[in-house]
Structure 1
Amino acid sequence: MRTQSYEPSATRRVATGADRGTGLALGLLATGAGLAASELVNGLYDSGRSPVVSAGEAFIDRTPPTLKDWAIRNLGTSDKMVLVTGALAVITLLGVVVGRIAVRRRVSLAGALTLVIGVLGAMAVVSRPNTSFSSLGPTVAGTVVSLGVLAWYWRGPGAMSGAAADDHGDVMAPLDRRRFVAGAAAITASALAAAGTGQVLGRRFGVASERDQLVLPAPDDAAGALPVADDAPGRLPPRGDATGTLPGRDDARGPLPGRDDAAGTLPGPDDTLAGGVEVGVPGVSPFVTSNAEFYRIDTALTVPQLKAAEWQLRVHGMVDRELTLNFADLLARPQVERFVTLSCVSNEVGGQLVGNALWQGALLGPILTQAGVQAGAEQLVSRSVDGWTCGTPVAEVMDGRDALLAVRMNGEPLPTSHGYPVRMVVPGMYGFVSATKWVVEMELTTWDAFDAYWVPRGWSQQAPFKMTSRIDTPRSGANLAAGRQAIAGLAWHPHVGVAKVEVQIDGGDWRQAQLADVPSKDTWRQWVYRWDAKPGNHTIRVRAINDAGDVQVYKEA
């Protein structure tokens, strides 16, 4: 006769709906309290680093280029908000898992997982540039508080007494629901207060107040007044210390789809176009892109807060004399003011990752000349305060173009999101090889000696602008009345210049458009072509011709 014995103590814990709800609540509570404590400590001193932001930035550094391209193309300037939201969602999900484990009476495992999450956050922090041991304070505080919430639930009101706990080993105490709800409410209120206090305290280390009070000198070499037609909208605010809001831009679109086999008879351009940088056609992006509308593409999840009073630029490497400049040194140099169009290399036809602004700063070429660029130096590696790097061809910086260390944008000190207090502006180069924001270091070196941030991720070392044109109006799929209509948009080839723009209707002959004036070859140029629209569907194409006579080609770069 067979017999089976059962161990009375080998009981199975079955999760109930109440357990699942409590686990969810406990996980959210521990996570929220930990994040709030981290935010509070982060606001207490300047060198603290948020583990959430650090984890997000570390993720950016390790993201495959194809995924980054997708994010820029589909999310644009919202990519950072999406990434931070995603990081918070992952942390919250992990917290819920920990809470569920804790409610299932696995206290040691829940605590160990919390420590692992804290260690991963600390690893993300120390992986960032310019960090120290004190940078770990927010991460340590958040981890300790999260563990404290778990311990409160375990040994708080309603916990088993010693003998009962010993009988069950490593188990959670039975839940006293009423006291848990009351305690959770108190912890939630404290967490909200801590997070709010941290935000307020953190403003002490911001630069908004300094920027608002900063007085910059008037330019020694001003860009001059823009030619503006009487009927053209928009002017820049006065230079000097004045500020103001510049006209925004409409949502631009690309060429119209579809085609009609009958091209019809197209009129030629008018003999003249009224002077000015604007063609006066509604729907065309303004000549000057406002600061608020100017695109932002960088790897910083939080905008660096670098004070002008603390800013320094180190110039070293293959130079005869290493230089260190502070902000006063930079302002003491001749101030040059120029209109320059900048673009992200990921900008698509009709995209928003391009803009034109009035920049003021010191010319970069004379600074490098003072340092004494040595023979063989090919690459100017610039570094941001957040550790980002880019490599700019030395030959282009030194060829006489208006490459600037800019301090002013559209009549006001640089916005923090666009590089306050100092950034690079190099006409004719895409941003990823020229437009370092929050710049604090420049090193002269060779192409073989160093790969800047984007190069190991599959991008080219050198990236001069490609000639581009686009149709702003009419928009794709627009329904137009038959008769006289305006086709208008923008064309640009910075540092080369746009000499002509041509429009093609339904595969017919290329017809020359009228061009607006421009202050220099470093800016985009508005154009307009007026045609007699016939009933039916039409395909409209545009191409530019630069000052060198090169014709824009239709192929993917």
Structure 2
Amino acid sequence: MTREADASTRVAAKAPALSGAAAGVASVVLGAGIGELIAATVAPSASPFAVIGGTLIDLAPPWAKDAAITLFGTADKLALLIGIAVVLLVLAALVGVLELRRPWYGVVVFAALGAGAALLAMLRPEPVALAWLPSLAAGLIAATALALLTQLARARTVSPPAGDDAGASPDAEPSVPDGPEGGSRMPVATTRRRFLAWTGAAAAAGVLAAIAGTALQAGARTVTAVRQALRLPAPAVAAPAVPAGAQLDLTGMTPVVTPNASFYRIDTALVVPQVDPSDWSLRIHGLVENEVEIGWDELLALPLEESWTTLACVSNPVGGDLIGNAKWLGYPIRRLLERARPTSDADMVLSRSIDGFTASTPLEVLQEEGRNAILAVGMNDEPLPAEHGFPVRMVVPGLYGYVSATKWVTELEVTRFDKATAYWTTRGWSAKGPIKLQSRIDLPRSGQGLSAGDTTIAGVAWQQHVGIAKVEVQVDGGPWREATLASAISDDTWVQWSIPWTAERGAHEIRCRATNTAGELQTEADAWPAPDGATGWQQLNVDVS
């Protein structure tokens, strides 16, 4: 065999596999896109990607969640969706090759995947009546498209019967039978163009359908319009004004009040729940003498209170930014618990979100008179953003969010720690999660070019519901120097600090530590966030030129 003939043989063997892969990818893009479009119109929370992603989040072990947040921060959900898409496309390519080699095998795989995702959709918390439809439709459409595209792919590689082109010019274009009986013939190049055209059209249609589904989101538009038109009542108890001097006048310093758009978001919802306030209600039940149910209008009619509270995620590493401070408007949870009258053996409240997330909060914390644990409806003088729990969420000072800050909350079950477990508790995290004493260096920033001379080291420190008494800074292993604290809004918020520094040329190591109002010094012992929050002193390495 000549070298040219051998190369032609290799290309002929490779082409069908590439065709099958292309057919598989285009079929999945078409099916997934139409599935997302259907979901947007009948069940936004049951889109195929949301169902698969939500299931993966629920099944993920704690170490995987920590790794995702460490690597991607608040972009962890986007990273998960991209990962799902990449895996799905690779799988689709393999299934396309399988279908090309063994007709109907790949079709069955796609249909089974759609049926499996449809079943998962029905097993998700609070499924709507048609939750099964988007994923099932996606699987069946992908299977049908795969069968048709691979039929075209096989046709483009069929050779004409021996001698059929006898006498044809050596330069004539090869042809293939055009139909099951081979009654007429179509040039191979023409068949190739048909395959490429239909494959491209299927992929393009899927992309357009996905874009249309994203644009539609009828439920989201309705809730957004309701939120924008909403005017919250004036508080019966107003929050104190931010004290003069609470915000340090330093370029690049973290704002003492975190804007809503910049507030960190860590939760388990791939698709943000769209809850119409007119449909919202909260039920308090369990170990209580009197079950309580309250609706939106009744909640707004109560004497609402404003308070400042800094929230922090338990996954926040030492020096991390999964923390934010806001002014919240809401009603004290303790008042509603007084109505419900918990029994003497109760010690925990299991809060439940509309998306199925649960958190375990110590009952005594929610009943504490001096703690502003509230059902929040407002954030920084506006209704809660959808991403932060609209219409109602919990805000509890002094506890990490995973045991207290339930968004889209619809249920408070009064129970016991030895009888019920929450979402993250079942995954190995601590059941109670009190905030740990922490401090962070914000200036200078890591990697910032710093010139020799006078500058400022500054940052924030926090231990909500305890308060900060002192922050100290150490440079290059030298003596600890006490920083100047800015004015604190309250013990439930973080506080800024600063200290002057004359920076000399070379590499330097800066560390900080805080002391709380109870006299406790922040521990130096390094610990990962799991199972109940990170500890250690932040160390910042800077180069001064």
Shorter-chain TM range is 0.7 to 0.9
Matched, 1:179 2:149: no
Q: 2:228 aligns with which of 197, 212, 220?
A: 212
> Match for residue 213 of structure 2?
198
Q: 2:132 aligns with which of 129, 136, 145?
A: 136
> Match for residue 221 of structure 1?
237
1:300–1:428: structure 2 CA closer, same or farther, 3 Å change rule? same
Q: Is the 8 A contact 2:25 2:92 kept in 1?
A: yes
- Specify the code of the residue in structure 2 equivalent to 1:504: Q
> Match for residue 37 of structure 2?
40
1:439–1:15: structure 2 CA closer, same or farther, 3 Å change rule? farther
Q: Is the 8 A contact 2:489 2:495 kept in 1?
A: no
* Aligned counterparts, 1:220-239, within 5 A: 220-228=236-244
Q: 1:407 aligns with which of 377, 383, 387?
A: 377
- Aligned to 1:134, the other structure's residue is in SS state coil
Q: Kindly provide the CA deviation profile for residues 94-134 of structure 1, in whole angstroms up to 9, marking residues without a partner as x.
A: 22122212333x22212221222223322332331112552
d(CA) in 2 for partners of 1:363, 1:15? 73
Q: 1:438 aligns with which of 392, 400, 408?
A: 408
Q: Is the 8 A contact 1:51 1:124 kept in 2?
A: no
- Which structure would you say has the larger RCO, counting Cα contacts within 8 Å and 6 or more residues apart? 1
Please state how far the C-alpha of 1:164 moved relative to its aligned partner. Answer: 7.8
Q: Is the 8 A contact 1:48 1:138 kept in 2?
A: no
Please state how far the C-alpha of 1:175 moved relative to its aligned partner. Answer: 9.3
* Aligned counterparts, 1:237-248, within 5 A: none
d(CA) in 2 for partners of 1:480, 1:186? 54
1:543–1:200: structure 2 CA closer, same or farther, 3 Å change rule? closer
Matched, 1:539 2:536: no
- Specify the code of the residue in structure 2 equivalent to 1:140: L
Q: Is the 8 A contact 1:408 1:414 kept in 2?
A: yes
Matched, 1:509 2:505: no
Q: Is the 8 A contact 1:65 1:457 kept in 2?
A: yes
> Match for residue 117 of structure 2?
121
- Specify the code of the residue in structure 2 equivalent to 1:409: M
Q: Kindly provide the CA deviation profile for residues 210-241 of structure 1, in whole angstroms up to 9, marking residues without a partner as x.
A: 1111111121111132223xxxxxxxxxxxxx
Q: Is the 8 A contact 1:52 1:121 kept in 2?
A: no
Please state how far the C-alpha of 1:27 moved relative to its aligned partner. Answer: 1.1
Matched, 1:333 2:330: no
d(CA) in 1 for partners of 2:23, 2:276? 41
CA RMSD for the aligned pairs? 2.6
> Match for residue 49 of structure 2?
52
Q: Is the 8 A contact 1:491 1:544 kept in 2?
A: yes
* Aligned counterparts, 1:384-463, within 5 A: 384-400=353-369, 401-463=371-433
> Match for residue 164 of structure 2?
none
- Aligned to 2:457, the other structure's residue is in SS state strand
- Aligned to 1:287, the other structure's residue is in SS state coil
Q: Kindly provide the CA deviation profile for residues 432-469 of structure 1, in whole angstroms up to 9, marking residues without a partner as x.
A: 11111111111000001111011121110111111111
> Match for residue 95 of structure 1?
92
> Match for residue 264 of structure 1?
none
> Match for residue 79 of structure 2?
82
d(CA) in 2 for partners of 1:465, 1:93? 43
User: What TM-score do you get using the length of structure 1 for normalisation?
Assistant: 0.83
d(CA) in 2 for partners of 1:198, 1:348? 37
Q: 2:144 aligns with which of 126, 139, 148?
A: 148
Q: Is the 8 A contact 1:345 1:431 kept in 2?
A: yes
Q: Is the 8 A contact 1:37 1:191 kept in 2?
A: yes
d(CA) in 2 for partners of 1:494, 1:192? 47
Q: Kindly provide the CA deviation profile for residues 344-389 of structure 1, in whole angstroms up to 9, marking residues without a partner as x.
A: 1121222110111111111111011111111111111001111011
Q: Is the 8 A contact 2:110 2:142 kept in 1?
A: yes
User: What TM-score do you get using the length of structure 2 for normalisation?
Assistant: 0.84
**Structure 2 stretches lacking a partner, 5+ long:** 1-9, 156-176, 528-545
1:517–1:25: structure 2 CA closer, same or farther, 3 Å change rule? same
- Specify the code of the residue in structure 1 equivalent to 2:147: A
d(CA) in 2 for partners of 1:164, 1:453? 62
Q: 2:284 aligns with which of 315, 325, 333?
A: 315
1:479–1:82: structure 2 CA closer, same or farther, 3 Å change rule? closer
Q: 1:555 aligns with which of 507, 512, 525?
A: 525
d(CA) in 2 for partners of 1:163, 1:385? 58
> Match for residue 342 of structure 2?
373
Please state how far the C-alpha of 1:294 moved relative to its aligned partner. Answer: 1.0
* Count of matched residue positions in the alignment of Structure 1 and Structure 2: 491
Q: Is the 8 A contact 2:392 2:408 kept in 1?
A: yes
Q: Kindly provide the CA deviation profile for residues 138-185 of structure 1, in whole angstroms up to 9, marking residues without a partner as x.
A: 1121122112213333667968756689xxxxxxx9993333334334
Structure with greater helix percent: 2
Q: Is the 8 A contact 1:485 1:532 kept in 2?
A: yes
1:479–1:76: structure 2 CA closer, same or farther, 3 Å change rule? closer
- Specify the code of the residue in structure 1 equivalent to 2:49: V
Q: Kindly provide the CA deviation profile for residues 169-203 of structure 1, in whole angstroms up to 9, marking residues without a partner as x.
A: xxxx9993333334334434543443333333323
Please state how far the C-alpha of 1:487 moved relative to its aligned partner. Answer: 1.7
- Specify the code of the residue in structure 1 equivalent to 2:431: Q
> Match for residue 492 of structure 2?
522
* Greater mean deviation of Cα atoms: 215-224 or 181-190: 181-190
- Specify the code of the residue in structure 2 equivalent to 1:38: G
Please state how far the C-alpha of 1:510 moved relative to its aligned partner. Answer: 2.8
